Structure formats: C-alpha cells, structure tokens
Amino acid sequence: MGLITTAGFAGFGFVVTAVLVNAVYIRARLPFPVSAAGLEEVTDAFANVGEALKRPSVLAPVGWLCLTVFAAGLTAALWDRGSDSSAWALVGLAGVLMQNVAFVCVEALRFGMASAAAHDRGSTAGLWGLSNVLFGFNQSFLAMAVLGFTLAGVGAEFIPVWHAWLGYVSAALLFVSAMASPYNANGASRLAPIGLIGWLGWATWIVAYSITLIYR
C-alpha cells in the first residue's frame, strides 16, 4: 500500500482517535479549555482526576502520528499539480505540524494543572489561563492547514466544489475563534460554539479528503 492510500486511512485514524480521546475526557468529567467552568470547579476537577487523566493521553500520540501521515500523503498527492498547488500544500503541511506541537503542549499542561491542583492550588490559575489561550491560538494552525490544503486541492482540481466550501467555511470559523483567544484566558468564551463548529467542519473535511486519497 502506497503513501497516498496509507494517508487516506491515517486521516480516518486521526478522526476516530480524536473522538475517542474527547469521549474519555468527557467521561472523566475533565473541563475542556474555554469550557466556561469556574476556576474553583476546574481546580477541584484536576485535583481529583487521579489515574483517569493518563488514559486518554495514551491515545493522543496515535492521533498526532495519523494526522502527520495524512498531511504528508496529501502533500505528495498535490505536489506535482502546479507550482501554486505545491506551495499551498506546504502551507497546509506547516499548519498540521504546528498544530501537533501546540497540542502536545496543551496535553502536557493538563498534567501540570493536575499536579498544581493537588499540591499548590494557587498556581492552577496561571496554568489554566495558559492552556486556554494556547488551545485557542492552536485553531489558527488548524485554519492554516485547512485553507492551505483546500486551495491546493482546488488548484489541482482534486476536490469538488462542496468540499472546497467546507474547507473555506471551517478555516474562517477556526480563525475567528483563534483571534478571540486573548479574551478567553479565564475559560469563558461566547465564541466557543464557533470554534466547535469549525472543528467539526475540519473533521468532516479530513474524512472527505481521506476518501479522495483512498480512491484516487
């Protein structure tokens, strides 16, 4: 099986892993960044999380690997289809790599907050604020990835019009949500639904691109 076909299956793997990780976090009742939970509630949740914090983090590297393979295969598929498509594909690849780095930090901060909540509750506030803003800014990298690969796909006539518009709208929603990040340090965000819709659009966009990679 070649890289491009493997990348298609990796795209599905990323989406499935992301859904599973989020489901485990919800079941463990851990507050998500920009979830509008109060600081005391957040601190109590992380102080009492125990071993439940470790379980979803075991799966997180699988998601990052799948997403990187997906982006690499998509870049390869679009590379020889014109200079503009190649350049935009590089923008998309850069966005994926940067979001992986940013989300590694977000994931690691959860352990920092759990330790702080258990031993020095006062420091949880700073870590929570950092996690919220970093999580929000990370959406700009997602927007970069979606926009770059969408423009590359359009230029190469690789994707249909509906898929392109899904990419444009998702990228716009993610970028708007990212711009609001400095105002969300305390965890409360009226624009959180915009970011969520943008993320769901991005996940659907990946599934659609994955099908294209498998059957092209």
pLDDT in tens, 175-198: 998 988 888 767 666 777 788 899
* Number of compact structural domains in the chain: 1
| 145-166: average pLDDT | 93
Amino acid in position 21? V
CA nearest neighbour of 144 among 195, 186, 98, 192: 98
- Domain ranges, residue 152: 3-215
Task: Give the pLDDT confidence score for residue 200 in this predicted structure.
Answer: 92
Q: Distance between CA atoms of 17 and 11, rounded to whole angstroms?
A: 10
Q: Distance between CA atoms of 191 and 110, rounded to whole angstroms?
A: 22
pLDDT band at 130 (very low <50, low <70, confident <90, very high): confident
pTM above 0.95, yes or no: no
pLDDT in tens, 21-43: 888 877 777 777 766 567 777 77
In the chain, % of residues over pLDDT 70: 92
